[in-house]
Amino acid sequence: MLATILDFPYPTIALLTGHSLGGACLFALAHDYRIMNSSRGFFHLPAIDLGLSFPGVGILPRLKLGPKVARKLLLEAHRWTSKEAFEDGVVDAVFEPEEMMGKAVVFGERWGDKAKGGVYGVLRDELWGEAGRALRSVSWVHRQPTALGKAKL
């Protein structure tokens, strides 16, 4: 799913209405823009505390957040409030719950026209292509078979 979002030929916006924990953090980072609820919710990837990992888990945080913030996310399991997430660049905007949907539409209208030229996906690949390639390599959908099965069903 993450690789698919990175392949979309138009801008994407993640609307974080409550807690974003674990895989939801990576799902949000796959989007171009992130809007977070100012009243409730945390952005928190507790993988290191739980002893969990998978190949490619660090590529989106490293590319999109930079080394220091990615370290806070992955190695320190920092739990961001909306204010902290905005200050660290984890999210692009923070709004009250009743404003969130309207503001997401404004983001979409502002940036959606950029896809009309047909190069949005190509240019996004210039920015985040390394992440897309890494995530496709561990994706069942995109993976190429490495051996033929010998079982006859």
Residue-level pLDDT at 134: 86
Residue-level pLDDT at 147: 46
Parse the chain into domains and list their residue ranges: 2-137
Residues of the chain with pLDDT under 70: 140-153
Which class would CATH give 2-137? alpha beta
- What confidence tens digit (pLDDT) does each residue in 96-127 have? 999 999 999 999 998 888 888 888 889 999 98
Residue 108 CA from chain centroid, whole number? 17
Residue-level pLDDT at 146: 45
* Alpha-carbon span 76 to 115, nearest angstrom: 37
Nearest C-alpha neighbor of 90 from the set 110, 125, 66: 66
Nearest C-alpha neighbor of 44 from the set 87, 9, 76: 76
Beta strands (DSSP E) in 23-85 are 33-37, 43-44, 79-80
Virtual CA dihedral for 103, 11, 89, 127, nearest 10 degrees?
A: -170
Residue-level pLDDT at 66: 93
* Alpha-carbon span 153 to 148, nearest angstrom: 13
Task: Give me the residues paired with residue 110 across strands.
Answer: none
**Mean of the per-residue pLDDT values for the chain?**
89
Ramachandran category for residue 137: left, alpha or beta (phi over 0 → left; psi -120 to 50 → alpha) = alpha
Helix (H, G, I), strand (E, B) or coil at 42: coil
